[in-house]
Amino acid sequence: MAALLKEAMMQTTALGDDGVQTVRYWLYAPGERACKWEEFYSRGIMGLAWGEVGDLTAYANKEDLKAQMLQTYPEKGAQKNDIHALWQFAKEIKPGDVIFAKRGTKEIIGRGIVTGDYVYDADADHYPNVREVRWTDKGTWSLDEPWPVRKTLTEITDYTDRLAQLKAFFEEEDGAFDGEEILRPLTEYSVEKFLGEVYMDREQYGAIMGLLRAKKNIILQGAPGVGKTFAAKRLAYSMMGVKDASRVKLIQFHQSYSYEDFIEGYRPSGAGFELTKGAFYSFCKKAADDEENAYFFVIDEINRGNLSKIFGELFMLIESDKRGDKLQLLYSRELFCVPKNVHIIGMMNTADRSLAMLDYALRRRFAFVELRPAFDSDGFRDYCAGLDNPRFEALVRELESLNRVIAEDESLGEGFCIGHSYFCNMEADSCTDAALASIVDYELIPMLKEYWFDEPGKVREWADRLRRSLR
């Protein structure tokens, strides 16, 4: 079984990065009341109906598909769920994804691995939308509670607790089943690759990696657009040596985020309230089962949450020299520890005026790394040269002048400088006057209006200068 589960092809979408392998999980109904299950199992496929709309690859976007569905099946109304299912089936499911076949809302009847791309079978009588599936299991497994959705196809990757129950059905049979186990060969990711994508010199990179290994916890702070999230994920990949999204978890803090979301807490269920495990708890348990490999928990906007409330008793456990030590959790009374192979990378925007100072207890447990605009870096200058666009270069020079003014402004400072990431990931053919003007008009100038809300003359001056650089 282990060899079978490792068969698959590369999947390239996770956390927004190309070349990252990850597995998505899907709950699927093979026909009404699973009427097509035996046929689909024997043929090694999964299928959807709605054949009258034709080959789904012909639709460039979901709106076009919606229009055709309304035209073809006007009597069925909006069909929001059906449209979404068709779109996901054709466009989002990838080879290597895990399918759990269901009957009704409480019964699982099979498990399989997607092995083929979407195909439209024009000769099929009722289910022409097809994907090949290697069905690994067939039987009957009952869920503790019904699923809250009744759709034909539902992605369940983020239903952490319910997904854990589905996986547990098959543990006795073939050992712990985790979708990440069926990933294809991972894309290698070297230091050179990192330095080619993140505009940072080797010395700074070495210092950050040293802090991450020693401290376990770092915070990347900087102005808007310096690429904090982009850098955080690639720091993780470079330490791992591969783009393995299964060992990286990205969340975002906000004012309503709580200990119950992060660690554990009681939530409403059909029977009243049930104890539900949070994102960090689940991630730590996963890392503990794979202690030879490094895991990375990435927190965006870390200073937006009530940190004392969110971390609770974990203030102590996240310290590098306390890793492996156990404390009793608030609700379950379980003895819990943060594994030594878990690294925490937080990000914070230094230009956010609305945020309070970080809790000192947390500040002591993190190393803080300042990321600055990299317009003058060798990597960014090589990037500019590759675009070979005089207007782009003129705009960059103007932005460098603007950043010097912002840095010298007593009410602002370096933490408010404009970052380079607004202009990254362009190609020569996409770096058009219109694209650059759109960034200036709809991203940079509104930001300047916030910075200098009481100095409209200065806003007009720099708006004119930025626009003139594109003429």
pLDDT digits (tens, 9 = 90+) for 145-156: 887 767 899 988
- Predicted TM-score (pTM) of the model is 0.65
Residue 171 has pLDDT above 90, yes or no: no
The pLDDT of residue 258: 93
Which amino acid makes up residue 101? A
Q: Find the DSSP H helices in 305-430.
A: 307-311, 314-317, 360-363, 378-387, 390-408
* C-alpha–C-alpha distance, residues 35 and 43, integer Å: 14
d(CA 44, CA 110): 12
Report the chain's mean pLDDT, rounded to a whole number.
Answer: 85
Rounded mean pLDDT of 135-161?
84
In the chain, the domains with their CATH numbers are 2-182 (3.10.590), 191-371 (3.40.50.300), 378-468 (no CATH)
Q: Would the pLDDT of 300 be above 80?
A: yes
Provide the pLDDT confidence category of residue 11 given band limits of 50, 70 and 90.
very low
Distance CA 355, CA 358 (A): 9
* Confidence (pLDDT) at 466: 95
Does 4 score more than 90 pLDDT? no
pLDDT band at 87 (very low <50, low <70, confident <90, very high): very high
Q: What is the C-alpha to C-alpha distance for residues 91 and 85, in angstroms, rounded to an integer?
A: 10
d(CA 240, CA 255): 32
Among 124-128, 131-135, 359-363, the range of highest mean pLDDT: 131-135
Q: Is the pLDDT of residue 185 over 60?
A: no
Q: Residue 224 has what pLDDT?
A: 81
**Rounded-to-integer distance, Cα 304 and Cα 366, Å:** 16
The residue ranges of DSSP E strands in 30-182, in sequence order, are 45-48, 98-103, 107-114, 119-120, 129-142, 153-155
Block residue for tokens 């790394």: 369
End-to-end CA distance of the chain: 63
Q: What is the pLDDT of residue 95?
A: 86
348-388 pLDDT per residue, tens: 888 765 444 566 767 788 999 999 999 988 889 889 999 99
User: Any idea which of 7-16, 67-76, 172-181, 396-405 has the lowest mean pLDDT?
Assistant: 7-16
What percentage of the chain carries pLDDT values higher than 70?
89
Residue 241: which region, alpha, beta or left (left: phi > 0; alpha: psi -120 to 50)? Answer: left
274 pLDDT band, cuts 50/70/90, is: confident
In which band, very low, low, confident or very high, does the pLDDT at 334 lie, cut at 50, 70 and 90? very high
